[in-house]
Amino acid sequence: GRSTADPAATGRPTADLAATWRPTADPAGAGRAGRTATGWLVGLAAFGPLAFTDPEEISLLLIGTRDVPFWVAAAAGAGLAVAVLVAIGYAVLLARPTARTPSRRVAALAAAVLLVTVGVVDVGPGQPGLYGERLLVVLREQADLSGIPAGVPGQAGRDARAAEVYRRLVTTADRSQADLRRTAGRLRLDPVPYYLVNAVEVDGGPAVRAWLARRPEVARVLVSQRLRPLPAPAGQSRGTAPAPTGPEWNIRQLGADRVWSQLGVTGRGIVVGSSDSGVDGGHPALRAGFRGGDDSWYDPWDGTRTPNDQGGHGTHTTGSAVGRDGIGVAPDAQWVGCVDLDRNLGSPGHYLDCLQFMLAPFPAGGDPFTDGRPERAPQVLTNSWGCPVIEGCDREALLPATTALDAAGIFVVAAAGNTGPWCASIDDPPAPYANVLTVGAVDAKRRVAEFSSRGPVPGGVGKPDVLAPGVGVVSAMPGGGYAALDGTSMATPQVAGVVALMWSANPALIGDLTRTRQILRDTATPAEPTYRSDNPTDACGGPANVTGAGQVDAYAAVRAAQG
């Protein structure tokens, strides 16, 4: 170093040397400080936002787009790109002739600013919320619905059964939930009780979930997701297909048009309940069919008071069941509606909200426990949805609900799902349950659609039960339009419409679920199965696990119901 040089050899006074000399910084220390600063900046830029991410909510948003490995790769690529850009920018700054190694104070300040910025974005437009924003606490005790008398056949017997089921469910829930509801209220967990499944929904994250799971009366605790609000209202889905000029191909393939013209049966006197994304109550094909009154519409998502639909899915499915102008199987049946889907997603709590409303409708703002009117329950329910694990349901989550509806004499039709051609793909409740009629999809050639989910299901229950047209089905869309859509969602309401025709043709059959299911199976026509490949393991255990009993035949089913 300069301190060891001979001052005389420099040709400068010793005093000048003393005035200009400074200790040289340790290069190794400076390098370590630079690398540390760079690491913090790159890490925060690339991965900091993950600290504010709800992993289950991200998974919900990915449903129906691409698979999870794709998005993992995309996220890794984006993180790497951000890291490279930050590193290049940092290197450019250091390469300047006048560049100096930044101080730790500057690096710390930059990292802090970046972290605060991410936090502000999360707290503001990010709409923060913890994992498990709501929890569904399922109690061990469920109502005993055995021994409910069948009573007289027809509507009167059905109403008496529904009233007794409602009474037992509410009595059991009020008694067994009392302590849990008091405790949850005292802790400000905003408890919401349910009776169709004896359960209570509360606020809470992992700590609350662990505490609830240890309570002796609790069977299990499920996550009941709540979607974050959008920064702006979503646009309404509208159709572009031309308006029908007569019965659509699927109506003719089922033979429903022959039921109208030759048997004079159009569904009059029957009410179909639709739990879905909503219904456009002003659509020309649906307006006249709304039952009306103060207990025919319920929206647990947004609290709207009149039938409406942003997503379009529910308008389309309701139109296939009861729409007029050639799109619906039972055009003179009435409908009631409930919103259990928002952005095509749901939760156990909201599925229960709607199923409870269907068992015992109540007026707007009413209490489901005290204001329910089981005598106003629709006779048939169409359910073009499933509750997967990612939405919070386990396999048995909704089984007490469909068991109660079955005991009440309410016919439940459910979509098989669109995860074919994989075997054992009927797995999201309520489709696997024996007490619902599960519907797969066929095309115009009566071939099972490749997307149509198939069995077998656990317990040896044969699924799907039956099939109906589900490829290129034209039906109503919000705003008065029409669209052709694919899915077991499209097939399901048509079968609900066939049940409405059967019960309209023979009111004594109302509430006789066993006989009605048997007629539908016995009168079904053969359909051609499809498979993922020629490999025997892709045969799903036999064609019955792909086609069920076959495609529903509306004409034959109504004739059998009359006989």
The domain spanning residue 489 has which CATH number? 3.40.50.200
Catalytic residue among 340, 489, 512, 553: 489
Annotation says 489 is catalytic: yes
Residue 1 lies in a domain: no
Tokens of 3: 């301190």
Counted domains in the chain: 3
CA-CA distance, 265 to 329, in Å (whole number)?
10
Residue 516 and residue 374 share a domain? yes
Residue 242 lies in a domain: no
**Annotated active-site residue in 159, 203, 257, 276:** 276
**Which of 85, 100, 123 finishes a domain?**
123
In a domain, 244, yes or no: no
Name, in order, each residue with C-beta under 8 angstroms of 450's C-beta and a sequence gap of 6 or more: 420, 421, 530
Report the run of H or E that residue 557 belongs to, with start and end.
helix 554-562
Q: Is residue 9 part of a domain?
A: no
233 lies in some domain: no
Same domain, 38 and 145: no
* Judgement on whether residues 139 and 109 belong to the same structural domain of the protein: no
Comparing CA positions, the residue from 294, 300, 314, 346 lying closest to residue 483 is 314
User: In terms of domains, do 154 and 118 share one?
Assistant: no
Question: What count of residues does the chain have?
Answer: 563
Whether 181 and 36 map to the same domain: the answer is no
Within a domain: residue 31?
yes
Question: Where a domain ends, among 223, 257, 288?
Answer: 223
Q: How far apart are CA 518 and CA 448, in angstroms?
A: 21
Whether 425 and 338 map to the same domain: the answer is: yes
Q: Do 339 and 387 belong to one domain? A: yes
Q: What is the phi/psi pair of residue 257, to 5°?
A: -65, -30
CB 373 within 8 Å of CB 173: no
Domain closes at, from 223, 239, 261: 223
Residues 96 and 161 in one domain: no
In the numeric block, which tokens belong to residue 95? 């390469």
| 350 a catalytic residue | no
Q: Active-site residue among 277, 299, 313, 332?
A: 313
> What is the chain's pLDDT, residue by residue, as a tens digit (563 residues)?
434 444 344 444 444 434 444 444 455 555 565 567 667 766 766 666 665 555 555 555 554 445 555 666 777 777 778 778 877 876 776 676 666 666 677 777 877 887 787 777 766 665 555 445 799 999 999 999 999 987 788 999 999 999 999 999 999 999 999 999 999 999 999 999 999 999 999 998 888 999 999 999 999 999 887 776 666 777 788 899 999 999 999 999 999 999 999 999 999 999 999 999 999 999 999 999 999 999 999 999 999 999 999 999 999 999 999 999 999 999 999 999 999 998 888 999 999 999 999 999 999 999 999 999 999 999 999 999 999 988 899 999 999 999 999 999 999 999 999 999 999 999 999 999 999 999 999 999 999 999 999 999 998 889 999 999 999 999 999 999 999 999 999 999 999 999 999 999 999 999 999 999 999 999 999 999 999 999 999 999 999 999 999 999 999 999 999 98
504 located within any domain: yes
- Verify that 274 and 399 share a domain, yes or no: yes
| Side-chain half-sphere exposure of 210, counting CA atoms within 13 A | 2
279 and 355 housed in the same domain: yes
Contacts of 553 (CB under 8 A, 6+ apart): 254, 255, 523, 524, 525
Q: H or E segment at 222?
A: strand 218-223
Looking at residue 342, the DSSP 8-state letter turns out to be B
45/181 same-domain check: no
- At 473 the three-state DSSP class reads strand
Task: Give the predicted TM-score (pTM) of the model.
Answer: 0.82
Same structural domain, 43 and 148 = no
Structural domain for 117, as ranges: 27-123
* Residue 283 designated active-site: no
Identify whether 39 is part of a domain.
yes
